[in-house]
Structure 1
């Protein structure tokens, strides 16, 4: 935690820089009413200690009181305990210590739905579609994916043993994997004919470098027409959205941050881009929020591209995150320094003291200001209206196409095999109109019969086995179905082909 704490000093979180001197340092209070407020809260804690027949620590009472105060403010202001803060920082930093898999809880099983490239899991031989049955000889049946993820994670350099069930294997596979730092790449891209497509899932610390890699690939292939997909992107770091905006927004203002406190100067961010390379369409929806709206709003206001989709979320507020000293540390530093300090950043900025892990009780994420688009629009609670309003169709034959993943093509699947690939294959077959009553993870006789019919209809040797060629054919059908259902994507392609 101490290493992470030092690291966060230099990191920009959410939509605000950690460079201001704003703090929780309390001024010396002499008014009697202030003391009476403090005495009142102390009396409440004394009453609980005296009358509550149960186990509760002073730290738990204080954390609960802090949480209560933060819950009285807007929905974006909250208090994180250390465990919650670690999870938050992992999302924003785009890294964590683990083995490099994404798991999902399906029909009481824990399935590997993605293995990150070059991860320790990939090197150990774990593949997409594996079912995790045990972790260090502990049965995980019935546990949530979050509970299992916590069991898998640990200190870098330590090892974890996974009991894996895999189609085609009669016995449980025992695979030992070393834990290491995993960096999450939120960028995927491909080229559709002569049009580039880039999907950005979140603005974490790895976003801009991977967007730059994607754009280099586009440039190497002489791509001048581009779709930037910000759908379902909840936002992230301000520094990242500015770096990315500079690639798409012409010379001029990108955004302005207007802060509440007089101690925090308003901040304006500019692009120096004098030559726009791409004819650009940006895809947005109701879950495109915060940093996504900064980028989309700047592109729309400057005419650098057009927005296609539905109205965005409408989060125009910015937050800073501050480390909060524990009561013990607060008392000790107040005595040593002669100043009442609650925000640990004050110790660093004003006294050159870096507190230890034990001296931090949690982290406070507070709304500190608002941002504006280049044309001065404040979109909080309003959102951005797309230039072309297009709604998507997601449900076909009772199946939500958004819940389907491509088949892994890692193993052949026969009758009685169990795999996440079976679930996805059955969903695709049901979408296509084949007889699948209810998609599940068991490749039963009904599944085999549907595969047999699909193979016969598509020129394959029909024998009801989910082999690699059939899996690829189903993946191809899924891609076509997604394009048919994704009317927003279709509109973007239409605009760029003109």
Structure 2
């Protein structure tokens, strides 16, 4: 593990803080019993496996029995995780979501290898290095795309103006993860914060500087689909919006870890604020949104948040050999390498680290003392973007660049399916493939609309489908539209 990653891990919070938690010593961790199990496996198991692999398996199994947020990482997995928190990684510079049945690219970073290779927002990823990813989740696809700097990855994608799968080869580089984007529309500033990585505070400072230079006082802060990140970043951003007083309070299980209180020193907020949240706004997002709501610094619009008030710490675990070495040297038992660093100003070398643990060590409360774990934050103004199971904010108007028929695959088919569902028609799988069910439904739509009913998504059909969709859904992002109405009418 590189030293820079070590320092990041030492100082950060993922909804988290550094802690001195170590394994309890009780009868269930009898070393003779554990070694005897290993001896039995080595004696009887016909496959090849090392004692280190067995120990890693035991550690992974032990921590997997806890909550969903407590995990064992190999050193390689930990480096990927810390890179994400630090805000850099080795890859091609895209972000994507699994939307219904498809992996859809939602952002291509500026000046990234992906942008230079011609990858576009809205492309659907079907294959990575020839492997079908239709049944893989977004995290699995991300791990396939990431890799060593200078190596290549080939994406098989479907694009709106192309009926056939196209392959694009991209060379991986070190990518700085920009945590969001911002813009000004009329007299309203919009800031989308996608993650609370180590770049979040500087990003918000940059965005607010732009707002101030343009005399913008009304701001929409979009925390939708933001899964969280560093507590310190969330607190630093809260200080920009929340008036003087409490932001959040963190409580820890270990008596050796002091509970922490975070406060704002802002005398008077200068922005009229609406915060967009949804069911995937979690953790550090809820710390920020909860502080804004409790301290009446803004209005929450959207749907109920995820409900994660647990605090995690990540720390390195030393090998059994290193455990014995430092016990003999210092006369104290250590499992967590950070404990050695804190007490003896020495950090073990990489070959003495077997893996990393991300463990739930505490919980946080909103300024009014609310415990939202498993409950979430209720918005002040409830607005759904999902209608009949379709997120309308993900729909793009049909492009009229192709005339998809039965067996075709394109983004236009994908968007047409979503429109048809909203208009009351049946479709097959919610993906970009023109199956028989959708083909028949298009013919039915054509008949109902006075068009020739033959099932092909021709240009006339696309025009009518676009028009009827826009009549039913005048604003595609209903939550954003409501935020604009609030800021325009109240302030």
TM-score bucket of the superposed structures, by smaller chain = 0.7 to 0.9
Is 1:480 matched with 2:469? no
- Structure 1 pair 347–450 and aligned structure 2 pair: CA distance change class (3 A): farther
Check whether the contact 2:159–2:410 (CA below 8 A) recurs between aligned residues: no
Match of 2:485 in 1: 493
Q: How does 1:99-498 map to 2 (within 5 A)?
A: 99-102=92-95, 112=105, 114-128=107-121, 130=123, 138=130, 140=132, 144=136, 149-160=142-153, 175-191=168-184, 193-388=186-381, 390-392=382-384, 394-396=386-388, 400-401=390-391, 404-406=394-396, 412-415=401-404, 420-427=410-417, 429-430=419-420, 433=423, 437-438=427-428, 440-442=431-433, 464-465=458-459, 480-484=474-478, 486=479, 490=482, 493-494=485-486, 497-498=489-490
Check whether the contact 1:325–1:344 (CA below 8 A) recurs between aligned residues: yes
Match of 1:43 in 2: 36
- Structure 1 pair 227–152 and aligned structure 2 pair: CA distance change class (3 A): closer
- Structure 1 pair 163–2 and aligned structure 2 pair: CA distance change class (3 A): same
More displaced stretch, 330-339 vs 246-255:
330-339
Over residues 389-440 of structure 1, what are the superposed CA-to-partner deviations in whole Å (9 max), with x where a residue is unaligned? Answer: x2526234xx61258354697x943546966522343135425649784465
Q: Which runs of 5+ in 1 are unaligned?
A: 458-462
- Structure 1 pair 413–57 and aligned structure 2 pair: CA distance change class (3 A): same
Q: TM-score, length-normalised on structure 1? A: 0.77
Displacement of 1:267:
2.2
Check whether the contact 2:126–2:134 (CA below 8 A) recurs between aligned residues: no
- Structure 1 pair 252–170 and aligned structure 2 pair: CA distance change class (3 A): closer
Check whether the contact 1:285–1:309 (CA below 8 A) recurs between aligned residues: yes
- Structure 1 pair 345–423 and aligned structure 2 pair: CA distance change class (3 A): farther
More displaced stretch, 202-211 vs 164-173:
164-173
Match of 1:12 in 2: 12
Match of 1:78 in 2: 71
Distance 1:483 1:35 in 2: 54
Check whether the contact 2:154–2:170 (CA below 8 A) recurs between aligned residues: yes
Query: Could you say what secondary structure the match of 1:247 adopts?
Result: coil
Displacement of 1:241:
0.3
Query: Could you say what secondary structure the match of 1:482 adopts?
Result: coil
Displacement of 1:474:
10
Displacement of 1:237:
0.4
Distance 1:322 1:17 in 2: 10
Distance 1:183 1:403 in 2: 27
Displacement of 1:277:
1.2
Over residues 284-331 of structure 1, what are the superposed CA-to-partner deviations in whole Å (9 max), with x where a residue is unaligned? Answer: 344433222221222223221233444444333322111111223333
Q: TM-score, length-normalised on structure 2? A: 0.78
Over residues 50-69 of structure 1, what are the superposed CA-to-partner deviations in whole Å (9 max), with x where a residue is unaligned? Answer: 44444443223322332343
Match of 1:460 in 2: none
More displaced stretch, 97-106 vs 139-148:
139-148
Displacement of 1:490:
2.1
Check whether the contact 2:16–2:231 (CA below 8 A) recurs between aligned residues: yes
Match of 2:454 in 1: none
Query: Could you say what secondary structure the match of 2:359 adopts?
Result: strand
Displacement of 1:196:
3.2
Distance 1:264 1:247 in 2: 28
Q: RMSD over aligned Cα, in angstroms?
A: 4.4
Count of equivalent residues:
479
Distance 1:3 1:407 in 2: 48
Displacement of 1:130:
5.0
Query: Could you say what secondary structure the match of 2:116 adopts?
Result: helix
